[in-house]
Structure 1
């Protein structure tokens, strides 16, 4: 027998050079655009055009951020927050009730209704923008935030219903039966059983619909026109002119518009991943 202390296994492992090289390349791909974005916001327009996007700021300043804040940025931010919160609330409320009905009814009609919802996944918003514009103008909602909220929430419903149907199908049938024996109504089952056990899916729906509303461009572009109803995606055009573009201020507005939704994602990322894992259902 060999005497002496044994070396613990796994202490000396062979270096995985291909993985290290691939990780380094990916790190460069991610870091360089972020560096270019941040450094551009800390320089003035003349220096940016003269030195290029990858140069270090000669005299860093926050003038670009000051220009954005002193403009109409907070008006655009407020409009975007209103649209985002309303779209997320509508998507959650409607998709929870629709998914619950589909899961609990189990009739051929409900399944056909579910398939009809899934057809919405194949319809791009660009294909129906003219009918949407006609409807919005006919009901006299043009150039209002509601004109953005309603179609944006509608287009988030197919994915939202798909996610929640998969989540609700994973709830044990015995739980429904035990509540039914206690005399619980379908509404009580929804509120006290389904909603608490579907929190991951509901969080996923909220984040998904909020991201779609926050980044939406087509509906705000077509269905609004005044300065008071602009959202962030349209407000970025304030720094793009016919003969010049203030790139540092434009990128500063981009950075400021990213911060709220990125912060929300950091707090909800776990629920988002858990909800997406349950899309398949049983």
Structure 2
């Protein structure tokens, strides 16, 4: 049977493409134009002159170091969250005692605590640990606030694995560690990808913890770099948008590699 084309969905998809594509085109178009010409015909007109001087300006300002620091923060945060959230979620799903249920409720309670409400105690703790003005002062609080959502997503994905598969592993003599490694992790790829992307985005876009926990220029991340870039190059709009463009590319690459698993996880497909 032939499927009738869905014209309404096609029109809606085209409108959504315009909503997303037009700002991106304006961003890239302005980043490739000289400062003296980017306002001549408007941001949506075809560029009359192209230049890479804006990228040179951004690189000379030390923005690449800010991007590298953010990559380190995001990578370390994702590693810590996965190392803690995966076994916690597995224990929550397979546990039958009141302790595991209480731990899960405790993590759910963490969803209701905003970081702004506890920033002063966090600052004192980070300072006492000797992590102030280091990247660890950003990584540890970011990972802590990403854990509740990560446990919620991972436990939901692991619950989609049928009980028969767990019983089959037990009949084969597999211990909990082997079951986690050979069954749960492969079948929870969607939930793990969702957790990785969410945690990386949270670390990449974080502003409060870098602002409070760091001071030196050597530990700046992308958000602080853009904040300082506005004050230094606010009148140079093409250079400013070039910095914004460069800051979005790494996380865009992560999304492109994990998009299918991410969509499956968000749709509740879990590990199936």
Instruction: Verify same fold: TM over 0.5.
Output: yes
Distance 1:32 1:181 in 2: 57
Aligned to 1:181: 171
Q: Is the 8 A contact 1:162 1:279 kept in 2?
A: no
Match of 2:62 among 72, 82, 86: 72
Distance 1:220 1:158 in 2: 21
Alignment coverage as a number of residue pairs: 271
Aligned to 1:63: 53
Question: Is residue 210 from structure 1 mapped to residue 200 from structure 2 by the alignment?
Answer: yes
Question: Is residue 92 from structure 1 mapped to residue 91 from structure 2 by the alignment?
Answer: no
Aligned to 1:148: 138
Q: Is the 8 A contact 2:190 2:270 kept in 1?
A: no
Distance 2:178 2:212 in 1: 42
Aligned to 2:93: 103
Q: Is the 8 A contact 1:164 1:279 kept in 2?
A: no
Cα offset, 1:192, TM superposition: 1.9
Aligned to 1:113: 103
Cα offset, 1:90, TM superposition: 0.9
Distance 1:149 1:178 in 2: 39
Question: Is residue 157 from structure 1 mapped to residue 147 from structure 2 by the alignment?
Answer: yes
Distance 1:243 1:76 in 2: 16
Question: Is residue 255 from structure 1 mapped to residue 245 from structure 2 by the alignment?
Answer: yes
Alignment of 1:189-200 (within 5 A): 189-200=179-190
Match of 2:267 among 252, 277, 280: 277
Question: Is residue 268 from structure 1 mapped to residue 258 from structure 2 by the alignment?
Answer: yes
Cα offset, 1:199, TM superposition: 1.6
Unaligned 5+ segments in structure 2 are none
Structure-2 change in CA distance of 1:20 and 1:279 (3 Å): closer
Distance 1:260 1:243 in 2: 23
Question: Is residue 128 from structure 1 mapped to residue 118 from structure 2 by the alignment?
Answer: yes
Residue 47 of structure 1 aligns to a residue whose secondary structure is coil
Distance 1:47 1:95 in 2: 51
Cα offset, 1:110, TM superposition: 1.4
| Cα deviations by residue, 1:7-52 (Å, 9 ceiling, x for unpaired) | x9878x8x95x76665554443323212221121122233335665
* TM-score (norm: length of structure 2): 0.89
Unaligned 5+ segments in structure 1 are 1-7
